[in-house]
Structure 1
């Protein structure tokens, strides 16, 4: 079946839109990116698409749906287009365990890694206590993932294959690693060998490498 390109609204350096793009790439779906500046997301034209005024948003002409929130978008793309269950599972308990890890990414990784980046790079004053708190959260989340990978023992979070849950962690993990390097704390990641091997396995994939390269260029160009 030939699909029309899915439209996605994002930003050159924002991890959440690129997270969705990884799923689009892995599923082999055509898509078109509308890159916005952060100042544009409160414009009336965009708020009509996404009343929360955040990125990403997608519009799928194949089904007519407009959807926002990266986790909801990923679940939609998987349910709608991963018909062969290449990156998901059909039955219990793996189906819900995969959803569990996506929920952890949304609530546990993205927000904390984002706050660490904000307080270390962009806040108007350097608050050591805030920076320390959120950098500690980067390591805590990394430890959770490392332990889970040790327990599962396959190199992946659920079952014996890569899923959308694994892939959802890539972009923010890259941002976190870059921040730790900037703060001279990246050596701390060596304590988590399962996590590091997991990231290496994902970043070696063509789709992931393509998106990681685009995001890195965008973040550099926009001072992120």
Structure 2
């Protein structure tokens, strides 16, 4: 694995002359940021922005490659060496032993970043403590609940070629139920965040999904504490930079514009379904 990643890293350095590697790559290097060897592979999705939000909050410099789903770049051999599951986000880095490391799955990346780079505990709690395990609980709650359920709501409401009412109601209803769980938690919070007295990776993991509630056809009108929490994080300069890192980010879309984008995306989603079914 180390040898393959080392070869891949060398290959990516030469990416300007390698057409199969996406050209939508850029660096966030700045004199005010802590330099790292992190290379983020991402796209403008609720999962994709988690990592860039945390990287910006940690004030780390990093390289970015934005993958195109319509071109199926996440399934190309070079990227499967980084994430064998062919999904974003993923990162590569130079590990503590001086050798390359890959980390995939957004929750695992968030954990990796705070355990390695959040040395002052600005977005995490000491490992093994009560707050640490509470953060872990909410992180896995998002990974196993909020993300998958709202993702299905997105699919049936926006992308499915047939409007199946059962699917729409089932997953919108489950998304609302999960929002109500967050509403109860935030109503008890004195800080306005999910755990303890500060924003953590639990908040970052959940925010991208909740912020895109309207894409799933779900309103926050019944969840005032969730709505306030969404705005609280959105107002943070670093989080806003990370959430809008993609060159393809679209803001203030009308419902007609959303439907147009969904229709365009539906084609490659269905193509991916057909490809998977043949395996």
TM-score by length of 1: 0.89
CA contact (8 A) 1:113 1:175 kept: no
- Aligned residue pairs total 217
Give the secondary structure class of the aligned counterpart of 1:45.
Answer: helix
Q: As a proportion of its length, which structure holds more helix?
A: 1
Deviation of 1:56 after TM superposition, in Å, equals: 1.1
CA distance in 1, matches of 2:172, 2:131: 31
Aligned to 1:213: 244
CA contact (8 A) 2:66 2:246 kept: no
Give the secondary structure class of the aligned counterpart of 1:33.
Answer: strand
Aligned to 1:58: 91
Gap regions ≥5 residues in structure 1: none
Give the secondary structure class of the aligned counterpart of 1:14.
Answer: coil
Give the secondary structure class of the aligned counterpart of 2:249.
Answer: helix
TM-score by length of 2: 0.72
Aligned-CA RMSD value: 2.2
In the TM superposition, 1:6-21 aligns within 5 A as: 6-11=38-43, 13-21=44-52
Give the secondary structure class of the aligned counterpart of 1:74.
Answer: helix
CA distance in 2, matches of 1:116, 1:175: 11
Gap regions ≥5 residues in structure 2: 1-32, 252-256, 263-279
Change (3 A) 1:89 1:110: same
Match of 1:139 among 165, 176, 181: 176
Larger radius of gyration: 2
Deviation of 1:129 after TM superposition, in Å, equals: 0.6
Match of 1:120 among 157, 166, 184: 157
Deviation of 1:153 after TM superposition, in Å, equals: 3.5
